């Protein structure tokens, strides 16, 4: 199995997010030394739930590492001019000497779209068009494009990524329908959702297996995306994680709140349901229902074993710094996962 930490650059009130950035960078460098396969970062904007500029951050990490792959999870394509996205991430691939894993998505929070001045209801269509433009740009020949949201005259984009025809593509998927949409495009699904129950995770992996078989794909990793935090004992891990997780639950719930008088469009009613679900959670419920994996190395080993044996997972991209968790705690957790758990799955 492959393992990779995932970092959402979050900052709780009273913390210094400059220090948070430095801590997450240090964790990326640690990931290489500890034998992780990759390091992924998220993109959010105008919310405490995360920070923007993943291309800049990954370029900085590229200068500090030599082997580890560097990933977005994800680059939110509808927010940006896709030509700039193509150029920025080709540059990351060059600076990292071909180590970019390009995770893409359409974004989630309406507030983020509102602040960018982009119609939230068009997020899916914008995402699809933007991805088309990025991939055309990376073909390395002149092209033009005319869509509903983006239009470009004939042009040629430089630079080209090192990896040909392009860096490997990834996308988070929350349902069988989304997995069935991306696999035929050669995009590897990242299975799961925040605070998903184990039964749902297993069901989604079962659907993924059927889709991969139907498409004849034997080359795609089966990627799980759990929250993982490890300390010396189960009790100590939960004591150390409580404050960060409680902040995360409160912050994540606010992510789905709309201004007074606004309602989600019918096709996005699931967002409201997600927000209601997050608001229903407590730290105790998260632990009781196995929605985040917080414990000692043996506790985590059993759950990774479940991912491998019951879900067929081959790759674990684990959120290891929830709620802007302090670097010292995250670093210890990463070291315990790398030294006590990962060797059991090699």
Mean predicted confidence (pLDDT) in 288-312: 98
Task: Tell me the average pLDDT of the chain.
Answer: 96
* Torsional class of 183: left (φ above 0), alpha (ψ -120 to 50), beta (otherwise): alpha
How far is residue 228 from each of residues 24, 200, 275, 319, 329, measured CA to CA in Å? 16, 18, 22, 6, 12
d(CA 42, CA 120): 19
The per-residue pLDDT for range 147-170, each reduced to its tens digit, is 999 999 999 999 999 999 999 999
By DSSP bridging, strand 169-173 and strand 100-105 are parallel
pLDDT of residue 265: 86
> How is residue 59 written in tokens?
């370029």
pTM for the predicted model, two decimal places: 0.97
Residue 194 has pLDDT above 80, yes or no: no
d(CA 314, CA 311): 9
Confidence class for position 275, pLDDT limits 50, 70, 90: very high
Residue 193 has pLDDT above 80, yes or no: no
Query: What is the three-class DSSP state of 111?
Result: helix
- Top pLDDT among 305 and 266 is at 305
Peptide bond into 74 cis (omega under 30): yes
pLDDT of residue 48: 82
| Assigned CATH topology for domain 2-345 | TIM Barrel (3.20.20)
pLDDT of residue 111: 92
By DSSP bridging, strand 151-155 and strand 143-146 are antiparallel
The per-residue pLDDT for range 324-343, each reduced to its tens digit, is 999 999 999 999 999 999 99
pLDDT of residue 47: 85
Mean predicted confidence (pLDDT) in 79-104: 98
């Amino acid at each position: 199995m492959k393992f990779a930490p995932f970092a959402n650059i979050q900052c709780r009130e009273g913390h210094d997010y400059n220090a948070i950035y430095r801590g997450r960078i240090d964790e990326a460098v640690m990931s290489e030394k500890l034998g992780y396969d990759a390091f992924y970062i998220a993109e959010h904007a105008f919310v405490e739930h995360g920070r923007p500029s993943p291309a800049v951050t990954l370029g900085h990490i590229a200068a500090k590492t030599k082997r580890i792959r560097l990933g977005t999870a994800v680059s939110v394509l509808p927010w940006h001019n896709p030509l700039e996205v193509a150029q920025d991430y080709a540059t990351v691939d060059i600076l990292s000497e071909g180590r970019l894993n390009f995770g893409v998505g359409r974004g989630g929070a309406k507030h983020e779209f509102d602040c960018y001045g982009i119609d939230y209801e068009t997020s899916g269509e914008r995402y699809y068009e933007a991805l088309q433009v990025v991939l055309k740009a990376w073909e390395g020949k002149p092209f033009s494009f005319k869509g509903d949201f983006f239009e470009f005259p004939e042009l040629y984009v430089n630079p080209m990524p090192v990896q040909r025809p392009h860096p490997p593509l990834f996308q988070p998927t929350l349902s069988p329908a989304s997995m069935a949409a991306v696999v035929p495009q050669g995009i590897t699904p990242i299975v799961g959702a925040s605070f998903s129950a184990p039964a749902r995770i297993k069901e989604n992996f079962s659907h993924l297996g059927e889709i991969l078989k139907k498409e004849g794909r034997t080359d795609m990793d089966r990627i799980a995306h759990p929250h993982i935090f490890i300390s010396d004992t189960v009790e100590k891990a939960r004591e150390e994680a409580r404050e960060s997780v409680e902040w995360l639950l409160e912050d994540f719930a606010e992510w789905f709140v709309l201004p007074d008088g606004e309602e989600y469009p019918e096709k996005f009613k699931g967002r409201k349901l997600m927000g209601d679900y997050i608001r229903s959670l407590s730290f105790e419920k998260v632990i009781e229902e196995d929605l985040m994996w917080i414990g000692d190395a043996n506790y985590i080993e059993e759950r990774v074993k479940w991912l491998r044996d019951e879900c067929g997972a081959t790759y674990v991209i684990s959120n290891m710094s929830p709620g802007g968790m302090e670097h010292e705690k995250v670093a210890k957790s990463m070291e315990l996962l790398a030294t006590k758990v990962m060797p059991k799955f090699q």
